């Protein structure tokens, strides 16, 4: 037996991780891990569990900088919960019976949203809506995609202003991996790496173009990102493509298609094209999708890789340092894209107002968001007049690994217990003098994701905590009812006089509490008799609303791995399992 184990452990680990483990039932895999130290280490491999959680649950975690904890999540992802809070107009929270609080038009703390029989694994927020993907790759929406237009109930979901008062599934011919919302539109990447765009929920289109035909790394999409009014695509080679659904060539084609479909003479076909709800299936939007031809996205100029400096003290391995510099992530803003390279360089590209103007822009390197030596010049890392010690200890290493953005604000952050979080505004001035804002309470907190609303923000940590700060925004911080929060605490009023002057006995809050300056943890046990330990693994924000994906850690032992696979919503034969 000992010789048998010796011969097994002498085999290449790649043989197990790539050739054997994928074919083993998870319970057998765990039992193998209990046999000796070698297999225990191998069956806890983070890369393997990351791949397995994608295959079995359609959960990539690509919207965060998570690098560890995949096995922990896998064991608990059988029953994730969706929580929503903030402004409730336009049905954007999807709650049929929102709690009654002192805020007339908002919910000031997380409320669980029930979507029966559905396991949500990805959540994003639109300007007046939420979008979600479940473990099967189906898309769910609630709220309204474009609340600036009006739609009658019988108009159908081909109208951008049609409202979904509760979560509804989009009936589409493919499964999806990722979504990204602008203010009034959504861009999506399906399981076959095809690009979809929603300017209405009932009449989406798939983009057909030789620039995204997957014939080469230059034309293979790996990420989609919505700016405020544009859509962008990052390819495998690191190129960036941009298109404008609300302007230029694409808008003309969309308008022509809508006119064609709205004027169909056949009554039955016209009703189908309007994407009206079938009363026999009231929770499904019967999408009338079409293919966009004749409107290629534009390709932005390549980043100036040869002019980018070699960043020191990044913690990268020699193999990583030897790789060719290319963009690996993008984040969309208002007429601007933030880019991140595989070496930790942060860049911006402005003037993305349309097809005729994008060439006026150029990729600009932002040294204070990338270079440790330059960042250490920041005043936050220096002693002040009040203290001989800096407010924040400068990091020993820095390699930005993730970016988030919305409208005029972006965040760039590294990972790990010594993580650094940097905040920037699009109108930040010349690149060489563009200094980030450093929030002390976010440093060294293992932040893996930052989400942005209009005036509020959220930071998700690798330990499952969600921290929010910024403006009250009708409860979007989720810290609780301000009238019940102790005086002087984040989310509440400063003193009794301020509270009395802001709250009407019959009409509730007339003036919101002060902005929260210090990122504060959100609780997910409001209204529960017993305080329960929760773990937040995803967050979304835009407008004046926020959402989160949460698992309950107080439900006893995690479900067996056998039951996990039986209910995961994905088998090895489905299109999502690659």
Give the Cβ contact number of residue 359 at 10 Å: 11
Cβ neighbours for 269, distance < 8 A, ≥ 6 positions apart: none
Buried b / exposed e along 390-420 (16+ C-beta atoms within 10 A): bebebbeebbbbbbbbbbbbbbbbbbbebbb
Local structure of 259: helix, strand or coil: helix
In the 8-state DSSP scheme, what is residue 277? Answer: P
Tell me which H or E stretch contains 13. Answer: helix 13-14
Same domain as 333, residue 233? no
Q: Could you list the beta-strand ranges (E) of 127-253.
A: 129-134, 139-144, 163-170, 176-181, 186-190, 195-198, 205-207, 221-226, 231-235, 240-243
pLDDT, position 11: 86
Answer whether residue 490 is part of any domain: no
pLDDT, position 504: 94
Answer whether residue 340 is part of any domain: yes
Listed residues 50, 75, 100: the one ending a domain? 75
- Domain housing 218: 149-292
pLDDT, position 2: 53
Same domain as 163, residue 285? yes
Buried b / exposed e along 233-256 (16+ C-beta atoms within 10 A): bbbbebbbbbbbbbebebeebbee
In the 8-state DSSP scheme, what is residue 409? Answer: E
User: Closest Cα partner for 479 from 519, 431, 532?
Assistant: 519
Same domain as 264, residue 211? yes
Distance (Å, whole) CA 218 – CA 543: 34
pLDDT, position 554: 81
Same domain as 155, residue 69? no
Listed residues 75, 102, 119: the one ending a domain? 75
pLDDT, position 365: 98
**Antiparallel, parallel or unpaired: β 163-170 and 284-285:** parallel
Answer whether residue 571 is part of any domain: no
Strand order in the sheet with 409-413: 402-406, 409-413, 421-425
Same domain as 242, residue 169? yes
Answer whether residue 99 is part of any domain: no
pLDDT, position 455: 98
**Domain at 31, CATH number:** 1.20.1280
Answer whether residue 540 is part of any domain: no
Listed residues 58, 75, 92: the one ending a domain? 75
Total domains, the chain = 3
Answer whether residue 267 is part of any domain: yes
Please, which contacts does 11-20 make with residues 24 or more away whose CB atoms are closer than 8 Å? 13/42, 16/42, 17/42, 17/45, 17/47, 17/48
Same domain as 396, residue 325? yes
Same domain as 328, residue 287? no
On whether the CB atoms of residues 203 and 158 are closer than 8 A, the answer is yes
Residue 138, token pair as written in the block: 């189906």
Answer whether residue 261 is part of any domain: yes
- Could you list the mean pLDDT of each consecutive 10-residue stretch along the chain, which spans 578 residues? 60 90 88 91 93 93 89 92 98 97 96 97 98 98 97 93 98 98 98 99 99 98 98 99 96 98 93 94 98 98 98 96 98 98 98 96 98 96 84 94 98 93 87 94 97 99 98 98 97 97 93 98 92 95 98 66 43 36
Answer whether residue 215 is part of any domain: yes
Same domain as 284, residue 176? yes
């Amino acid at each position: 037996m000992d010789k048998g184990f010796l011969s097994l452990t002498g085999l290449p680990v790649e043989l197990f991780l790539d050739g054997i483990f994928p074919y083993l039932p998870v319970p057998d895999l765990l039992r193998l891990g209990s046999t000796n130290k070698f297999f225990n280490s191998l069956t806890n491999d983070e890369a393997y569990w990351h791949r397995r959680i994608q295959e079995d649950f359609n959960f990539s975690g690509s919207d965060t900088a998570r690098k560890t904890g995949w096995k922990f999540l896998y064991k608990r992802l059988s029953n994730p919960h969706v929580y929503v809070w903030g402004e409730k107009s336009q049905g954007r929270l999807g709650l049929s019976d929102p709690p009654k609080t002192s805020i007339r038009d908002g919910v000031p703390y997380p409320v669980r949203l029930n979507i029966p029989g559905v396991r949500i694994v990805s959540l994003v927020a639109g300007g007046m809506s939420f979008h979600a993907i479940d473990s099967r790759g189906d898309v769910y929406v609630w709220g309204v995609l474009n609340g600036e237009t009006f739609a009658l109930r019988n108009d159908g979901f081909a109208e951008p202003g049609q409202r979904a008062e509760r979560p509804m599934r989009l009936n589409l011919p493919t499964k999806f991996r990722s979504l990204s919302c602008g203010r009034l539109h959504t861009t999506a990447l399906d399981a076959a790496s095809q690009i979809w765009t929603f300017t209405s929920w009932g009449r989406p289109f798939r983009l057909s173009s030789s620039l995204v035909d997957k014939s080469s790394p230059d034309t293979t999409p790996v990420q989609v990102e919505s700016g405020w009014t544009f859509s962008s695509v990052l390819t495998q080679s690191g190129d960036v493509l941009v298109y404008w659904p609300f302007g230029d060539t694409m808008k003309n084609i969309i308008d022509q298609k809508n006119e064609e479909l709205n004027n169909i003479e056949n009554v039955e076909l016209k009703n189908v094209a309007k994407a009206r709800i079938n009363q026999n299936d009231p929770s499904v939007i019967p999408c009338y999708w079409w293919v966009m031809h004749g409107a290629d996205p534009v390709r932005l100029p390549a980043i100036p890789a040869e002019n980018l400096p070699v960043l020191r003290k990044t913690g990268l391995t020699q193999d990583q340092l030897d790789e060719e510099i290319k963009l690996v992530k993008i984040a969309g803003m208002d007429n601007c894209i933030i880019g991140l390279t595989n070496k930790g360089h942060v860049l911006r590209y402005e003037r993305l107002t349309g097809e005729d103007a994008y060439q006026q822009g150029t990729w600009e390197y932002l040294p204070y968001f990338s270079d440790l030596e330059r960042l250490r010049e920041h005043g936050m890392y220096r002693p002040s007049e009040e203290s001989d010690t800096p407010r924040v200890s400068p990091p020993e290493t820095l390699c930005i690994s993730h970016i988030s953005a919305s409208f005029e604000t972006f965040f760039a952050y590294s990972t790990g217990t010594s993580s650094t979080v940097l905040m920037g505004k699009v109108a930040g001035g010349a690149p060489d003098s563009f200094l980030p804002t450093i929030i002390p309470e976010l440093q060294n907190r293992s932040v893996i994701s930052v989400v942005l609303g209009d005036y509020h923000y959220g930071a998700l940590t690798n330990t499952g905590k969600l921290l929010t700060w910024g403006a009250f925004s009708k409860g979007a911080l989720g810290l609780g009812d301000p009238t019940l929060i102790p005086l002087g605490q984040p989310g509440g009023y400063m003193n009794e006089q301020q509270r009395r002057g802001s709250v009407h006995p019959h009409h509730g809050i007339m003036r919101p509490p002060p902005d929260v300056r210090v990122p504060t943890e959100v609780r997910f046990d409001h209204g529960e008799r017993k305080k329960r330990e929760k773990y937040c693994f995803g967050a979304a924000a835009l407008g004046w609303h926020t959402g989160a994906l949460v698992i309950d850690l107080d439900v006893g032992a995690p479900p067996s791995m056998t039951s996990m696979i039986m209910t995961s919503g994905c088998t090895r034969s489905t299109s999502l399992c690659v």
